[in-house]
Amino acid sequence: MQGSRHFALATAVAIFLVVAAPGTAPAFAATPKATNVAHVAATTAHVQREVFGFALASSLANPSFGYPSWNFDLLSTVAFFGLHVGGTGYFAGDSAWSTWNSSSLTGLVSVAHQHGTKVVLTVVLQDFSPNTPDMCAGLQHADNTVAETVNQVKAKGLDGVNIDYEGLDGSCGTNDPYWAQHAFTTFAAKMRAGLGSAYYLSVDTYASSAADGYGFFDVPNLASYVDSFFVMAYDLEYSNYSRFPTSCSRFCLGPTAPLSGYYYNDASVASQYASAVGAGKVILGVPYYGRKACVGGAVPNGYPTSDVSADSYLDALTESTDPAVGAGSYTTHRDANSSGGERWDTWYNTSLGCTRELYWDDAVSLGKKYDLVNANRLRGVGIWNLNYGGGAPELWKALAGHFSSCASVSVAPSPASPQVAGTTVTFTASSTGCAQPLYQFWVRPPGTQAWQIVQAYSSSSTFRWNTASLAAGTYLYTAWARDASSGGTQCSSLGCNDAFFAAASFTVVRPCTSVTDSVSPTSPQLSGTPVTFSASAAGCPHPLYQFWTLAPGSQTWQVVQQYSSSATFTWKTAALPTGTYLYTVWARDASSTGTVCSYLGCNDAYYPGTQFGLTTPCKSVTDAATPSSPQLAGAAVTFSASAAGCPHPLYQFWALTPGTSTWQIVQPYSTSSTFTWKTSGLAPGTYLYTVWARDAASTGTACSYLGCNDAYFPGTAYLVDKPCASVTDSVTPGGPQLSGTKVTFAASASGCLHPLYQFWALTPGTSTWQIVQPYSTSSTFTWKTSGLAPGTYLYTVWARDAASTGTACSYLGCNDAYFPGTAYLVDKPCASVTDSVTPGGPQLSGTKVTFAASASGCLHPLYQFWILPPGSTTWQIVQPYSTSSTYTWSTSGLTPGTYLYTVWARDSASSGTACSYLGCNDAYYPGTAYAIDRPCTAVTDAVTPTSPQHAGASVTFTATSGGCLHPLYQFWILAPGSHTWQIVQAYSPKASFTWSTGGLAPGTYLYTVWVRDASSTGTACSYLGCDDAFFPGTPYTLT
């Protein structure tokens, strides 16, 4: 790093490092119009904010870190640094001048311009000596400098100038104490005039200059002449070290460009400059370097114990791999005072024999500064300097992630124009040059100049345009694109974008949307009947109609009335053959040639081909009954008719009830050739049935007082009989019963004279019914259950009359009536029973104890619970037999002692397989002991040796309780001066505790002991815990 790029101001508050300038500013509402630089034509995607980087002449063409290693697609401006100005105003003939006139510069300019990057010349004059004589002389000869600068820039084909004049304000021997400030502003004005508006002009200024009107730079007045300010917002550690938060007594290391938290920081500098000249002129300079020194220890903001030296970014990146780094000593940190998280590293240097500390900005902390640039909408970011970072990929990635902009955007509609109103059109956008594109879609309706946002900026690259309800006409559409990190590189009254698609047209047409066609008279009709078709189109103002017919057996549609404004057509059917014709109508607006075309022609809409029948009358009709006569009442009888001689027959079915003379219509004329006669509820007897037939186009060729027909079927007899109406089934004995019991089922049918019975059973766990006694005249069945598996069986009985095959059938067979499947339980006795208790004993008197029983071997267990009190020989039933498997024992008021409990079990179908004088059961649980106890009532605590004792003595506490059978003890100590008791021995049966006082502070301690019965959780509780009784806290002194 060049030492001349940083300095100390005797009267200022900060140290500043000069950096270089910007490129074309993003256009925002409050941003001055960017200079139109004609020398560079962008050929690739570029950044959306100014990315300004200095290029050191000393290593300009170095292949490792010079311009060949840089990504020019991410650079707006590169400043050649630089040509030094002498006291006469002319350039010095130094090594930089040699590079300026070498192929290194030519190569830089060529590569930069190929990528659309501007190259500017930095003119350098720095003087901080007393009275700054060199600066004064240079400003006095500013005209020479302007003339030579303009000539060199134009001769080399550069795009502008960056002014790097660094000095102190002063009189320069005049009566004006601010002569240097005024002269520098005049110099900038002359440089602008010399270059003209087509060239780019920037100036490097100190971090504090926007807030300091008495320094070297008059920032507000300079803004009238320059395109941008490169703000040298680094080397701030030299002005921050004595202030909060470090408050060092002498210089200590710290972030060179803290984002926040320190007295001088990038956030406040950016705010000051934006307020003074507007954000669009501000380039925030960032350092590609850091500073290091030996320090006393690996702590933040260490005091240097050696010279402070600089590390370029590339140097800092490789410090950890230096052979002099002590093994395992290299540690990275983030500054805790700044939200920028600037990095600082520490390690032990074995060559120097000291701990080294380095503060620098890596890609992470630089990224946070880039976030500040975007958040404050600054013109851009400036880099001192590009040679220090070279081709480090993480640096270029950070720039790309924060400043990439879209280079172009294209839009394709699908389907393509034109389309009918109502079509959903999908516009798909595609951008180049940006990693995270956002798209905004626009449409301009016909007849207006106002563009409308139809889909605001989002990550979606598609927009579905619903054209329903849109007026017909030619619309314009476009799409804007910008990167998610970009506010837009170009703006207008409509908003901002990085790139836009040239407006393209899309035509929406509104043709006829539909057409209907009504016919009078309706189909079918007898051949010779005139038929009128009436069409009606929707959605078009001037419809034209074309009528078509398709003859039966033909594949060729015929136009029977050409396109015209007439909406009706009369079809003359005389002499036409009978059969089913198809008719349709097409419609199109008078202004439309048709939106849909086929080999037949074009239309906007069509009515679907619809049938129309031309017929002759029926000549005869037959009628068949299924099933045939006779049938039981309840049978569904289907009559199937078939007419001859007519293409569109209608059928009317009749029935004559026995004992009457009045025929009844059971199904009026319809196209259905079948009628299902439901005989349920009909009286038995002989019925007559018939069917009439006529063509759909005929009113009937023969008529009587009953009506008209073309043909009829003679009245025919059908006999209806009576099936069984219902059946019942009783069982003896009733369930449940144990396996082995003989069970008799007795059935009884009603409504039929000669019933037959079939008995069924369904075994538990299966879905297959089994016939246990097939159809017979026997109305009873005896079921032998011996050897049957326990479970719930289902039984039923079917009945049918001897003359009936069954009025209802399933895959199992047929019946007239059935008894609903009914459950019958066959069980077995319980084999065993268990009994669990909660909570387990012992418990205090008053505890509610729950006994939970579980029987095995029986499906429907009943439980009976028993208790035997201590000292008694008489068992007591505490819960008689029931289905409840649990019993809750209330022990309140019970005498302490050992109780016995048991439970009996038997199946609900069993009276008990074992009996005694107490009763009967299938199984029982052995009598089991349960202890009822009581809480402790008191406790004492004896101590040996007695207080006081020297610290280090071994002290034994011995507790004694009363009122409880199974005491537990917990010992406590309260240290002198403390309010927190400590458990020194938790609850246990141990009644003594030995206190080791070695190492304890002298003073008066308090001791106590708690006691509770093993069956008790404690009868008294506090925030410390629970006890039955406690010994009062007692002092014990250690000396």
Instruction: Look up tokens 């004992």; give the residue.
Output: 659
At 776-789, the pLDDT tens digits run 999 999 999 998 98
CATH number assigned to the domain comprising residue 1026: 2.60.40.10
- Concatenate the DSSP letters of all residues of 610-676 into one string: EEEEEE----EEEEEEESPSPEETT-EEEEEEEEES-SSEEEEEEEE-TT----EEEEEEES--EEE
Q: Is 279 found in the same domain as 135?
A: yes
Q: What's residue 11's pLDDT?
A: 27
Q: Is 950 found in the same domain as 851?
A: no
Q: Is 990 found in the same domain as 856?
A: no
- 657: containing domain: 620-721
Instruction: Give the Cα separation of 289 and 300 in Å (integer).
Output: 18
Contact between 812 and 769 (Cβ < 8 Å):
yes
Residue 630 included in any domain: yes
Residue 314 included in any domain: no
Q: Is 710 found in the same domain as 651?
A: yes
Query: How many distinct structural domains can be found in the chain?
Result: 7
Q: Is 625 found in the same domain as 610?
A: no
Contact between 208 and 216 (Cβ < 8 Å):
no
Phi, psi of 314 (to 5 degrees): -65, -35
Q: Is 709 found in the same domain as 661?
A: yes
Q: DSSP class of residue 820?
A: P
917: CB partners within 8 A, 6+ apart = none
Q: Is 983 found in the same domain as 874?
A: no
**Which residues make beta-bridge pairs with 663?**
none
Instruction: Give the Cα separation of 314 and 787 in Å (integer).
Output: 95
Q: Is 250 found in the same domain as 164?
A: yes
**Which residues make beta-bridge pairs with 865?**
879, 903
Q: Is 699 found in the same domain as 739?
A: no
Q: Is 186 found in the same domain as 148?
A: yes
Residue 320 included in any domain: no
Distances (CA, A) of 766 to 759, 762, 770, 773: 17, 7, 10, 19
Please state the three-class secondary structure of 944-1000 as a single string: ECCCCECCCCEEEEEEEEECCCCEEEEEEEECCCCCCCEEEEEEECCCEEEEECCCC
Last residue of a domain, one of 785, 807, 827: 827
Residue 24 included in any domain: no
Q: Which residues of the chain have pLDDT under 70?
A: 1-46, 591, 803
Q: What's residue 13's pLDDT?
A: 28
Q: What's residue 863's pLDDT?
A: 97
Last residue of a domain, one of 479, 509, 539: 509
Q: Is 493 found in the same domain as 461?
A: yes
Q: What's residue 32's pLDDT?
A: 25
Instruction: Give the Cα separation of 569 and 585 in Å (integer).
Output: 10
CA 208 to chain centre: 47
Last residue of a domain, one of 464, 492, 509: 509
Q: Give residue 214's identity as a one-letter amino acid code.
A: Y
Instruction: Give the Cα separation of 716 and 702 in Å (integer).
Output: 20
Contact between 425 and 465 (Cβ < 8 Å):
yes
User: Half-sphere exposure (CA, 13 Å, Cβ side) for 565?
Assistant: 4
Please state the three-class secondary structure of 335-380 as a single string: CCCCCCCCEEEEEEECCCCEEEEEEECCHHHHHHHHHHHHHCCCCE
CATH number assigned to the domain comprising residue 202: 3.20.20.80
CATH number assigned to the domain comprising residue 471: 2.60.40.2550
Angle at 793 between CA 790 and CA 794, to 5 degrees: 175
* pTM confidence score: 0.49
- Exposure string (b/e) for 566-596, b if CB count within 10 Å is 16 or more? ebebebebeeeebebbbbbbbbbbeebebbe
Instruction: Give the Cα separation of 537 and 516 in Å (integer).
Output: 6
The number of residues making up the chain comes to 1039
Residue 181 included in any domain: yes
User: Half-sphere exposure (CA, 13 Å, Cβ side) for 593?
Assistant: 2
Helix (H, G, I), strand (E, B), or coil: what is residue 858? coil
Q: Is the dihedral of CA 748, 750, 754, 759 positive or negative?
A: negative
Instruction: Give the Cα separation of 764 and 825 in Å (integer).
Output: 10
Residue 892 included in any domain: yes
Contact between 198 and 38 (Cβ < 8 Å):
yes
Q: What's residue 44's pLDDT?
A: 42
Task: List the structure tokens of 1030.
Answer: 């406690």
Q: Is 548 found in the same domain as 495?
A: no
Residue 566 included in any domain: yes
Residue 952 included in any domain: yes
Q: What's residue 28's pLDDT?
A: 25
